[in-house]
Amino acid sequence: MPSLKEVEHYLTGLWLLVLRDPKGFQYLDLSERGSLRSFWAVVWTLPAMLVSWMWWRSTYLEKMPPDTETGLLFFLRLAMIEASNWLLPLIFVGVLMLALGVGQKFSAVVVATNWMAIPVSYTYAFLILVMMLLPGASGLIVLLWFVAFFSVVLALFRIIGMICGDQFAMVATLTMLLLIPTMILSEVLERFLGVFPG
């Protein structure tokens, strides 16, 4: 498992890529080994995931009858949804990149998006905590949520652009393919697995 120092190293590389500085690539292991190793990011995001799951459980129970129970199975289903949201967009992107003839750059996309999940997860976990502690500040939370989402889209677009080159249509498509399926899949799987509030 990569150490905190290594993770900081990778995140520095991503930040440089967001700034469109090619030196950022020197901080990332873009090999196939590095691609597989980047899935350790899942472990690093676990505390943020737990915050999200506890909030989702609370929201779920508020909308359900008083005798509703949520045990280990509830959280296992949330973990399944999380895994699907992590892997399926990458599979879609990989297929599209092969079709576009840029499959050799897929490992770099995997590395970048996996490590980027760490700051993204903790940002949203922070917003959830603020929402739980300040329930009356819903307007502020919505604004911060929008700013966070826009920042993620912009950062991802810039990183993908640095990896694949300045081909706007392709970069925009890959960026949306990494984001939109997650939004759709989440609700579909939540309803299918019975963990959707209401």
Q: What angle do CA 22, 24, 25 make, to 5 degrees?
A: 80
End-to-end CA separation in angstroms for the chain = 39
Question: What values do phi and psi take at 34, rounded to 5?
Answer: -65, -35
Would you state the structure tokens that stand for residue 105, as one six-digit string? 């750059």
pTM, two decimals, is: 0.91
Tell me the residue type at 180. I
Tokens 């897929």 -> residue: 106
DSSP element (H, E) containing 17: helix 4-18
166-197 pLDDT, tens digit each: 889 999 999 999 998 888 888 888 888 888 87
In the predicted structure, residue 43 carries a pLDDT above the cut 80: yes
Would you state the structure tokens that stand for residue 67, as one six-digit string? 């005798």
94-146 pLDDT, tens digit each: 999 999 999 999 999 999 999 999 999 999 999 999 888 887 777 888 899 99
Considering the chain, what percentage of its residues have pLDDT values greater than 70?
A: 99
Q: What pLDDT score was predicted for residue 110?
A: 97
Q: What pLDDT score was predicted for residue 51?
A: 94
Q: Are 82 and 140 in contact (CB under 8 A)?
A: no
Burial of residue 170 (CB within 10 Å: 0-12, 13-18, 19+) is middle
Tokens 């915050």 -> residue: 51
Q: What pLDDT score was predicted for residue 69?
A: 76
- Helix, strand, coil percent values for the chain (each to nearest 5): 85, 0, 15
